[in-house]
Chain A
Amino acid sequence: MQRIGVFVCHCGSNIAATVDVKRVAEMALMEPGVVHAEDYQYMCSEAGQALIAKAIEEKQLTGLVICSCSPRMHEATFRKAAERAGLNPYMVEIANIREHCSWIHKDMEEATKKAVILMRAAVAKVNLNTPLQPGESLVTKRALVIGGGIAGIQTALDIADAGYEVDIVEKEPSIGGRMSQLDKTFPTLDCSACILTPKMVEAAAHEKINIYTYSEVEKVSGFVGDFTVDIRKKARSVDMDKCTGCGVCQEKCPSKKAPSEFNRGLNNRSAIYTPFAQAIPNVPVIDREHCIKFKTGKCGVCSKVCQAGAIDYDQKDEIVTEKYGAIVVATGFDIIKLDNYDEYAYSQSKDVITSLELERIMNAAGPTSGHLERLSDGKAPKEIVFIQCVGSRCSDDRGKSYCSKICCMYTAKHAMLIRDKYPDVNVTVFYIDVRTPGKNFDEFYRRAVEQYGVNYIKGQVGKVIPQPDGKLLVQGSDLLDNKQILKEADMVVLAAAIEPNPDVRKIATMLTASIDTNNFLTEAHAKLRPVESPTAGIFLSGVCQGPKDIPETVAQAGAAAVKAIGLLAKDKLMTNPCTAKPDETLCNGCSTCANVCPYGAITYEDKEIFDHGIRETRRVAQVNSALCQGCGACTVACPSGAMDLQGFSNRQIIAEVDAICR
């Protein structure tokens, strides 16, 4: 029989105002196994924890029930307190009488009754708890960063600077990500390349960093501290070691019709290419879809002109298998496809562009060498209209429900840069709200309006109609003046919503990291653990977790790095002991459990079993407790009930059911 102590927390008035805590404690004393019950103002406080420790010692308690807030909040706190007082931490159960009771019920009598029942269920469960011992597993002191944008680069640099090996996997031929495509950055207007390129170079040169470009994560197995990852190095068709990066192959390549991904398809590149001049590594890849040699077997110009003999048409994809202790996801974003926004004539007119395309147009290395011109006729625009929130803050399923966060600021930046360089160009911005929370952000926006005379109109644009003369007729409304606006523009720029990289869902599945309905990775706690995934050992860096600008991304990248370093600094990890455990005498060896295990944690072994006087060799299930995450799928699949989950055993859950239905 257990000796159980029940501790009822007032949580100030959060619980005590609606639940008669004294009565809950009194009722607890009538439950089987309960030898001690008391209430206190704040159980989680030092004084509260001291009460618990004292009772454990004086009453020789073997189990605790804390009636308090959600176990998601303080289970760990109370487990630690129990452990300090010499009790096995897994002998603690929480009755959630705050979130599930006092906060949702008003009637004291009713709430108290419910609190008593929740307490009884927890007592019934603790009666069946057994001390559990966490296992230990070793930590591989190496981190993987998925994504080589600014988030990934920063995370990798921070981890590497702390002295740990880091691999970056980037699916494009070069690291750099979205930031490398930007021209200037807000709110300081410094050039993006000028601040990013040194970081790229630093990462490439860092002795602790190894970069896999043109590579993708193929398979992930294992668990925190001990992940095994297969990385597919796509065939580059160019020998990384031999190539000198001279660029002659790209110059001579006769196939120059491939749309440049880096320039958002605004111009073309050769079939053998580096995405941009400052690419790292400065080694081209052959785009086999566009390469004449691969399409027809004839050509081979690049091979002929390559002095270094680096071209290798026979190169094949290569799978590299590496072990990691921590994985940081930094897969970033793209802008949404505008198929659902036909009214803005994006597909009909070359002069309706996205803001990211405008970045490329404004960039000296871009398709127009930095001249602001219409893509349809090369003329200088005189009238530019920006449309905000294209697909952001959308209430229907055409777009995204969230605010993309960066558009207000980059639009102010674009408007300002245009007005600065081309004072004769009129700039109009249609907006729903201008959101500028951030250091020096509002000042920046006000400068655009006050100093640069950008015309901000609160209202939405209903339609953009291409005119026969090449102009664009913008039909919008001005909500403040309550009037319809018709405006002729030479160029329309859409602030398209951002969305997580489409590959992230696949990656999240491999990592068993959770993802929300918008495909952003879920953090372990929205406020308190914003850079960790709920899956242990997986950390989140940058926009894959939610929309962010560059300073926020860099800050979060650093935070993710710190969390990863904290993990890598440990030699051993304690594993969650709430894992599945088979009763070998009941096991049929039928493999049903192994079929539903998502972690491959169940194997079978022929084992000598002594059961009811019979000694025989049987095929029985074995659980690798380091792999098992404790979901319990196997326990229900098992027809004989041989497989049980420690901490959530069949008898424990049934005891809770019984207590509730009593």
Chain B
Amino acid sequence: MIGNLDATLHAPARLQIAALLGRVEEAEFATIRDIIEVSDSVLSKHLSALGEAGYVSLRKAALDGRQRTWASLTRAGRKAFAAHIATLQAFAASVQATVIE
């Protein structure tokens, strides 16, 4: 066992959402969907799961006269993402070590 993998971030789409939100202040639902390349319903499900874990904050705001959902990574989300990435990197490094050996 290398470090602790976060069960909430284990799903590839959720990890990608966290990777995106970790590098912006806030992103709109359609922008996240286009970058992650998932359907509306799948994104909605993953954002809800991340929100329930306290990793993502969601708010509704009008844009061009329509209500849109905006998502941002919370402090807890950033911390969990950083820890998860560190664990993944430890795994990957062990792969390289094995290859070198």
- Judge: A and B partners, yes or no: no
Interface of B toward A, CB cutoff 8 Å: none
Interface of A toward B, CB cutoff 8 Å: none
